[in-house]
Structure 1
């Protein structure tokens, strides 16, 4: 028994070592292509575009943690100046996702009541003149929130294929509160994808079905017709059941057997007495045969799907042009969004670790937001009170002026009347 236990322990330890080795090798194989926390030196990696500058419509970025934060030292780039275009980009080590998973992740805190504007980021391929980077610059991926009024709260996922942009067909909603939120897009070599918000999967699917890039693999056979003998009724009347003899002769009502002719009843005056009618307990309504399970039931007929003759597979459907740049290019009616924690890698688990790391200060950020909202509300109430007082003051002044004008008017009328009377007497 001692020898067997030792052998078991040896096998167990060997298994543990293999798992550790596998984890180390897997970690070593994963690659962080680009990670930006906007620490010191971020200016050397990012180039602010002059797009819209000549028109006076170019906004600027501020390096800040924002008006409330779980960690004041954790700074990002915040849009400033309302009703402006914002464009800034960074060159990254060239990355090709062929036979690799692509993970694009970033955080954004929309501190303002944005009204209308984007909060997304882009990945670009090929050469980009970063000083002219703008809305017309071709991109391979556009991902993130786009908010306009109370109706549009869309989460964009737009992919480029052979020079044309294709939006995700699903209507996904973004977060709209004023806290930091992480948005993660994962694209795998089998063309499957996942979209996560704050590290939790919000949606998933396939590029084959959720973008109109390729014709569908299957289409409905419009020439198909339902067979004449197709049974859609799940239950049918029992053909073996026969109506009982005399069933239809059972009356609906019968005379009340408990009723008695009143002692005061006079047939000469009241006519022949008849007992009142009551529902017949033997009456069961119109006869209907019982229902049984239809032995020929096939379910509701549906138009069959067939192979689409126009479908031609592309095994590299998921492959993007080599990524060389990442950028922020948005228009905002009201500025104030803080972009941070940009990550491009091939390891979804590392991306989740980043979310958990930043969210260790989540409660502190919530408390800071609540305090900021209290201060804002108090300031608004104070301004409203000041406006009311100013309005009352102006109203009183207008009333005083009106009374004074009325007094002068009546005085002038009095003087004119007496002046005219005096001259009439003369």
Structure 2
């Protein structure tokens, strides 16, 4: 109550910190909370609950893993509707591409309550799309797409995602002052202003359509020197007959035609003559098109706001399956999100890496042993071949003596 009174006295809107949605897949009953899309024309892959091949904690690291190659995936869940008016919006989840993904999505979508979960597909309207997307060496980015007035807008900045096999935490923060921040593993990867980094609003300024560069505007920094003249001996042919060439002794003019020496590059050739450049006395600099206020621009102090946030879904395509999604969180408490991120993803990431390193070492040793065994088998085969050859030789000798 004291905090509310202080906030009211300062003229500040007080918003209670809340966790609107959280999913850690801590129980086997997750299928009762999530709905599989049945959109016609799509061959959907299935998710399974697993910590994967390597993990830090077998229970805590359980998440939803894509299990079939070359499939669409469509899964969503709903929660109590809320608005992010006057409060931060924090969207957070972890992604683990343990299959060393070559092409596929690792992002989520946030919807309002109009989403038909049974019919969710790529064209279903969404509010926010956020998360990593990888396809070949050219696409390794974090999508941040906002829907504003019915149209999807992509971020203009490049945010590179993680492309290794380990679990990573992705966090999107949208503030009520129309700023944003993207965190990867609880460290800032990008930040800025919504109006500047998305084309949701028309530009504030536009080029004056009535203005044009004056006809006498000279924007050439240098000009040819009008006093410079071409030297008299400048013009020389590019190629000349080889003065050292001689007519072959066996050359027959009647048979071979009139002999001509081969052409060579002329050492005196100077190319096309151009007068030297001097500073232009009439240079006025580059002409800058004057700008005016854009009559179509209208500021929107609530560009960040969504009136109804109600659902989150995984709507994606993967060529190579194996991605694990976990630790979903939607809240308005930035510090609580960081804390939860460290308690979930952060608490097991080092142990997971240790297990993976140990598995890699075991695989390396196994490969070495198999290589040595194969080499030994090869040597044994060669020894057997040598014995067979010796026996053949002895048999031939015995035969000759007989």
Q: Using the alignment, how far apart are the partners of 1:383 and 1:51 within structure 2?
A: 48
Number of the residue aligned with 1:157: 144
Whether the aligned pair in 1 keeps the contact of 2:100 and 2:164 (CA below 8 Å) is: no
Match of 2:356, SS?
helix
Number of the residue aligned with 2:32: 44
Unmatched 5+ stretches in structure 1: 1-17, 234-298, 397-426
Larger helix percent: 1
CA RMSD of aligned residues (A): 3.8
Q: Using the alignment, how far apart are the partners of 1:301 and 1:376 within structure 2?
A: 65
Aligned partner of 1:127 among 92, 114, 117: 114
Q: Using the alignment, how far apart are the partners of 2:305 and 2:179 within structure 1?
A: 12
Q: Using the alignment, how far apart are the partners of 1:388 and 1:306 within structure 2?
A: 78
Q: Using the alignment, how far apart are the partners of 1:22 and 1:80 within structure 2?
A: 53
Matches within 5 A, 1:334-349: 334-349=320-335
Aligned partner of 1:191 among 178, 181, 184: 178
Q: Using the alignment, how far apart are the partners of 1:380 and 1:27 within structure 2?
A: 61
State the Cα distance separating 1:217 from its structure 2 match.
Answer: 1.5
State the Cα distance separating 1:377 from its structure 2 match.
Answer: 4.3
Match of 2:297, SS?
coil
State the Cα distance separating 1:193 from its structure 2 match.
Answer: 0.8
Number of the residue aligned with 1:169: 156
Note closer, same or farther for the CA distance 1:124–1:28 as it changes in structure 2 (3 Å cut). closer
Matches within 5 A, 1:276-425: 306-358=292-344, 359-378=346-365
Matched, 1:210 2:197: yes
Aligned partner of 2:45 among 19, 38, 59: 59
Whether the aligned pair in 2 keeps the contact of 1:209 and 1:216 (CA below 8 Å) is: no
Match of 2:90, SS?
strand
Q: Using the alignment, how far apart are the partners of 2:162 and 2:376 within structure 1?
A: 39
Note closer, same or farther for the CA distance 1:111–1:185 as it changes in structure 2 (3 Å cut). same
State the Cα distance separating 1:206 from its structure 2 match.
Answer: 1.4
Whether the aligned pair in 1 keeps the contact of 2:108 and 2:130 (CA below 8 Å) is: yes
State the Cα distance separating 1:117 from its structure 2 match.
Answer: 0.3
Whether the aligned pair in 1 keeps the contact of 2:76 and 2:311 (CA below 8 Å) is: yes
Note closer, same or farther for the CA distance 1:200–1:305 as it changes in structure 2 (3 Å cut). farther
Note closer, same or farther for the CA distance 1:383–1:338 as it changes in structure 2 (3 Å cut). farther
State the Cα distance separating 1:219 from its structure 2 match.
Answer: 3.5
Number of equivalent positions: 314
Larger mean CA deviation between 86-95 and 365-374 belongs to: 365-374
State the Cα distance separating 1:218 from its structure 2 match.
Answer: 2.8
Match of 1:213, SS?
coil
TM-score (norm 2): 0.68
Whether the aligned pair in 1 keeps the contact of 2:55 and 2:355 (CA below 8 Å) is: yes
Unmatched 5+ stretches in structure 2: 8-12, 222-284, 383-402
Note closer, same or farther for the CA distance 1:199–1:22 as it changes in structure 2 (3 Å cut). farther
Whether the aligned pair in 2 keeps the contact of 1:115 and 1:333 (CA below 8 Å) is: yes
Number of the residue aligned with 2:56: 70
Note closer, same or farther for the CA distance 1:170–1:367 as it changes in structure 2 (3 Å cut). same
Q: Using the alignment, how far apart are the partners of 1:33 and 1:67 within structure 2?
A: 31
Q: Using the alignment, how far apart are the partners of 2:50 and 2:309 within structure 1?
A: 28
Note closer, same or farther for the CA distance 1:329–1:382 as it changes in structure 2 (3 Å cut). farther
Q: 1:243-296: CA deviations, max 9, x gaps? A: xxxxxxxxxxxxxxxxxxxxxxxxxxxxxxxxxxxxxxxxxxxxxxxxxxxxxx
Which structure is larger by alpha-carbon Rg, 1 or 2?
Answer: 1
Q: Using the alignment, how far apart are the partners of 1:101 and 1:203 within structure 2?
A: 17
State the Cα distance separating 1:114 from its structure 2 match.
Answer: 1.1
Match of 1:33, SS?
strand
Matched, 1:31 2:36: no
Larger mean CA deviation between 41-50 and 59-68 belongs to: 41-50
Note closer, same or farther for the CA distance 1:388–1:220 as it changes in structure 2 (3 Å cut). farther
Note closer, same or farther for the CA distance 1:323–1:379 as it changes in structure 2 (3 Å cut). farther
Q: 1:158-199: CA deviations, max 9, x gaps? A: 111121111111111101111111111111122211111111
Note closer, same or farther for the CA distance 1:371–1:22 as it changes in structure 2 (3 Å cut). farther
